[in-house]
Structure 1
């Protein structure tokens, strides 16, 4: 890790190379004669390129936020992720047999992906608390509940793969 910036630039470079390699594979597998350009959003590779770009912006934003923010608001983020999972039962869109997506026009989002990160964040905050003794059954049960609550909401959608993760 580079001490001046705090980033592991080799890992970042390897990640970007893997993403670029994956995108080139999608591009080469889906290229056809009707393509309008390199970033044609009507094609799979164009939409994937857009999502890659938006993800890079999101990554930069997440990394620019002070770490204390995540520590301070981990409970709120976790509760918001649980509410977004519960909202699927009312507002969710069924895709491939699973009602685990929110649809916004031509764009859909799966909140279980965010719930995975929120659960890890909440669990890390709980376990790092000075009053938490992981050897105590009460605290082990608390950690188990943090993990199992999102899974219990995800399973009936049905999306057991996301619940398992």
Structure 2
């Protein structure tokens, strides 16, 4: 069976997931160095996301977690990661598959990645053109804190 072409978008998507997996795996072993901390946004509807029912009710589509001062049980595998985070003095275990990730930001070094689904790319194409003309919108997901640039590579995927 002949290939129709090289799917660079999918390859970059997997490479970016691999980078995040490597970072989280290092953090699970050595802890967070210096001022590093992460804002990770994920789709709570994605298959394989495990979280408390009350959190899912509060965040039915998307949630952003912060990995900074208090976290435990961070474990990384090929498909995603598990972590226990503190929500109002209530430790809650979570499982987040890499396919559920939407953004990963480390504001301490102005680094950010954005993952977009194929469907979102097609739906947002017209919006992207409008945003470029108007200078974009001010939603917090578009720009990580500190003014770092979010790399959006999936927009060129066909």
Q: TM-score, normalised by structure 1?
A: 0.32
CA radius of gyration, larger in: 1
Question: Greater strand share, 1 or 2?
Answer: 2
Greater relative CO (CA pairs within 8 A, separation 6+): 2
Question: Greater helix share, 1 or 2?
Answer: 1
Q: TM-score, normalised by structure 2?
A: 0.33
